[in-house]
């Protein structure tokens, strides 16, 4: 495969080049802004909930462990919603999916805010998560629609930068609302924002899917009218994971993101309890270092992955290997992610007082950077190799990862209670090192892995 160096542009068909010129740079920025704000609803949906768990448990006469199951339910529903959204976005386009998901988020948020029992909370939480979940997978598909390969990593870094304001701001916002007002107020606010985004998408967001490529356009010229609603199997994108390299990247993403959940989901019961923090607003503020790390890591990782693609192409005389982008994950997967979660567990267990708290916050910050040094280049890689089905491939990646995560999260608090935070975090660190092994295997044996099962990989001519 032949592509570019730093001086020579990619030699693609003129028609393929033109498809990325449909929108002006200014219009692309508007599209990315709307997609990013919609994607921001996903982490806000979960991030505003976690700091409120103790208050919700008290309000509904339950326990933190029971309410934390709502987090697991959220992750499962998010995986299902992402698969549905991605599948239908490949058939109808990106805009119709956004216009369907945001009203569901609005209704779900109103339901959560009015819930009086645990079953009511779970049902409305499920609907809320379904509505919030397409933002990330479809948003990454939008980036792949409008930016060509050598610009894609940086564009995705900007997208992640915006969407990852959620982990930085959502817990603080949720904690402030819970402490000074009510956790229900935050859920109402989320519903109002989703309604505003609905009208922004309706009025200002164009369809970005490449012309003539949507399933509805192809079906409309055959026996199926373009307007007719259809049923699509939401699990179909998961079949893409029969590709070893896509599965390996997905597993590595799970082991990386799991460290984030291990650190943040039980934070009120680990760092909060260890250092005497009971104020929900202060607990929410403890999430800020992780979110700030995400904000710094995402654009830096995206730009680094673009530069590595160009550098290795030049070194090979123009031969493109999409796995070169994954070299940007090494810093995060080998060092930042596992060491940050490991040291946080040891610090919480053995170091008391202000020193222990400050060092823990540094660990959260480093974990935030490390997580994005794995997830951002991995997302760009998936879009690179599956460009024509980018949203479906990302949904498969996120969906499979989230299904596993929804099960794993349910064991975090019980494991902390039974074995302690040091043991729990050490297990998470070990899993993340295993994830690094999968990434290294993908980089080292890229040709062999892609040859085992070709699921329609893109080339430099159509990526």
How far, in Å, CA of 27 to CA of 23, rounded?
Answer: 6
- How do the domains of the chain map onto residue ranges? 24-207+236-452
Residues whose CB falls within 8 Å of the CB of residue 195, separated by 6 or more in sequence, listed in order: 102, 103, 106
* Total residue count of the chain as it appears in this document: 463
For residue 155, give Cα distances in angstroms to 24, 42, 84, 199: 15, 19, 25, 24
**C-alpha 134: how far from its chain's center?**
10
Alpha-helical (H) ranges within 205-267 are 215-220, 244-264
Give the pLDDT score at 203: 94
What pLDDT tens digit does each residue of the chain (463 aa) get?
333 333 334 445 555 667 888 889 899 989 999 999 898 887 777 777 766 777 777 787 776 666 666 666 777 787 788 888 888 888 888 999 999 999 999 999 999 888 888 888 888 888 988 898 888 888 888 998 998 877 787 788 788 777 767 766 777 777 777 777 877 888 888 899 999 999 999 999 999 988 877 777 776 544 445 556 777 777 788 889 999 999 999 999 999 999 988 998 788 788 988 898 877 677 777 878 888 888 888 888 988 998 898 899 888 888 888 999 999 999 999 999 999 999 999 999 999 889 999 999 999 999 999 999 999 899 889 988 887 777 778 778 877 887 787 778 778 888 998 999 999 999 999 999 999 999 999 999 988 888 898 888 877 766 6
CATH class, 24-207+236-452 region: mainly alpha
Residue 66, burial from CB neighbour count under 10 angstroms (0-12, 13-18, 19+): middle
Cβ(326)–Cβ(249) below 8 Å: yes
Closest CA to 392 of 19, 44, 84, 46: 84
Angle at the Cα of 181 from the Cα atoms of 177 and 185, rounded to 5 degrees: 65
How far, in Å, CA of 149 to CA of 462, rounded?
Answer: 9
Side-chain-side CA neighbours of residue 112 (13 Å): 33
Alpha-helical (H) ranges within 221-352 are 244-264, 271-274, 280-285, 288-315, 330, 337-350
pTM for this prediction: 0.76
3-state secondary structure 9-23: CCCCCHHHHHHHHCC
């Amino acid at each position: 495969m032949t592509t570019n160096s730093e001086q020579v542009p990619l030699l693609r068909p003129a028609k393929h080049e033109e498809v990325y010129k449909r929108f002006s740079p200014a219009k692309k920025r508007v599209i990315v802004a709307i997609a990013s704000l919609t994607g921001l609803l996903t982490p806000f949906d979960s991030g505003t909930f976690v700091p409120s768990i103790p208050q919700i448990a008290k309000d509904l006469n339950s326990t933190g462990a029971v309410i934390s199951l709502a987090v697991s339910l959220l992750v499962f529903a998010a995986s299902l919603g992402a698969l549905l959204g991605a599948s239908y976005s490949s058939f109808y386009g990106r805009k119709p999916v956004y216009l369907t998901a945001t009203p569901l988020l609005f209704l779900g948020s109103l339901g959560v805010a009015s819930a009086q029992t645990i079953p009511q909370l779970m049902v409305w939480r499920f609907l809320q998560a379904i509505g919030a979940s397409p933002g990330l997978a479809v948003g990454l598909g939008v980036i792949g629609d409008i930016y060509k390969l050598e610009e894609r990593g940086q564009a995705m870094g900007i997208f992640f930068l915006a969407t990852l304001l959620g982990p930085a701001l959502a817990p603080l916002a949720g904690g402030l609302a819970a402490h000074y007002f009510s956790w229900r107020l935050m859920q109402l606010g989320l519903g109002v924002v989703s309604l505003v985004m609905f009208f922004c998408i309706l009025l200002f967001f164009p369809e970005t899917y490449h012309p003539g490529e949507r399933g509805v356009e192809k079906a409309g010229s055959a026996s199926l009218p373009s307007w007719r609603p259809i049923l699509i199997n939401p699990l179909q994108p998961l079949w893409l994971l029969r590709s070893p390299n896509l599965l390996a990247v997905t597993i590595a993403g799970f082991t990386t993101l799991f460290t984030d959940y291990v650190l943040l989901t039980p934070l009120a019961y680990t760092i909060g309890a260890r250092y005497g923090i009971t104020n929900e607003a202060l607990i929410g503020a403890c999430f800020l270092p992780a979110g700030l790390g995400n904000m710094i890591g995402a654009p830096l990782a995206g730009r680094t992955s673009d530069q590595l693609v160009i550098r290795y192409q030049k070194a090979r005389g123009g031969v493109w290997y999409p796995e070169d982008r994954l070299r940007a994950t090494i810093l995060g997967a080998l060092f930042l992610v596992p060491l940050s979660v490991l040291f946080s567990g040891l610090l919480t267990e053995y170091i008391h007082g202000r020193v222990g708290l400050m060092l823990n916050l540094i660990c959260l910050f480093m974990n935030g950077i490390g997580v994005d040094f794995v997830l951002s280049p991995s997302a760009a890689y998936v879009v690179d190799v599956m460009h024509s089905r980018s949203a479906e491939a990302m949904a498969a990646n996120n969906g499979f990862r989230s299904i596993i995560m929804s099960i794993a999260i349910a064991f975090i608090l019980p494991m902390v209670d039974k074995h302690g935070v040091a043991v729990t975090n050490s297990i998470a660190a070990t899993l993340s090192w295993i994830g690094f092994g999968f990434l290294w295997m993908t980089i080292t044996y890229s040709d062999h892995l892609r040859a085992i099962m070709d699921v329609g990989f893109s080339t430099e001519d159509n990526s």
